[in-house]
A and B are shown apart, each in its own frame.
Chain A
Amino acid sequence: MRLKIPANFRIVRVPCTGKVDIIHVLRAFEKGADGVYVVGCMEGDCHYNEGNFRARKRIEQAAMILDKVGVGGERVKMFNLSSGEGPLFAQYSIEMNNKIIELGPSPIRVAKQNKKNAA
């Protein structure tokens, strides 16, 4: 297929999105990520029945926390697709990438950079 996707994100593979916890998302932001998106199977198609539903709830919670701490809940999002949908994966990557570029760098990264510059 040789699809083009943005090269500025890192893929973290998990056995099922049900493995993704709130803390994984928050840690990514703490370490300076500008955005996090989770790509799970189609709802209803989870091999473990509820994995992607669990992930969705956790992503919602992470978004709520990020909103409260001033980072912005819109920086985290969950997508669903089936494993055969490579083009859709590429499309979601581009969509998320554009959104993050529009939002600009995460306030945490900005604060860390400011601190570094001041030192």
Chain B
Amino acid sequence: MPEPKGFFTDTTVCIGCKACQVACHQWNDLPAGHGRSRSELPVLSGNSYDNTGSFSDVNWRHVKFIEQPLTQGPNRVAWLMMSDVCKHCVNAPCLEVCPTGAILRTEFDSVFISEPACNGCRDCVSACPFGVIHMSESRGVAQKCTLCYDRLKNEMVPACAQACPTNSIQFDTIANLKRRAEQRVSQLHREGVRAAHLYGADDKVLGGLNSFYLLVDKPEVYGLPSNPKVPSRSVVQSSFWGIMTAIMTGLGMLFAFRSRTTRSPLDRAETQKPAAGAKERPIT
């Protein structure tokens, strides 16, 4: 069993370049675009340099831009940037609520949606306190970051972390990341950045986040809940149900799987094409 792996995102070195978003699109064959038909680009949001706005079924990474007016000190503005992603929570509410067992915990301790098993019920969408999971309207399945499970299986770093020019997104074993993150916080404290702190590195947030952050302001400033709701059911119960559901759905799932995996990911754009109307052609 490999060690748990994940992301440590040091927002103090994020330059908001969005390479992570594009690398994610590229590796996972996700189309650009906006709205239900995804036939149009977004319009200028006016919200700093964030024009994709949120996670979506095709935006598994999302870079946030926070412009803060300053009244003291030499600068009149601070500009915080942060690349956000699925937290791969240790106590993952999505996994807890999934009725079909489609949401799995992998050997890397990441949280993975097995598409063939997803029945499109949306329970996970509402359970996620971070707004990570979205439904693909065209395909009827829940979508989110896979921590590049396929790359991990092939001993490659997730696409976003590999692309990140400044090492804001670091991928490693959780143990190594925590060590590095604590060193970085202490360095920043020594350099006078007193506000530097870690979010999700310990077990206070949903038992720990396998994607945790170094922040220099309150989590809410970054759109992160300080104290997200834990799942209503207990761990034992949920794992019991998870196992039972998995057993019960196992056979049927495998059938469904065969019929759907004949399609290559490169055909995704094709399947997202609405039945009628050439104008609705998605932008790939």
Do A and B interact with each other, yes or no?
A: no
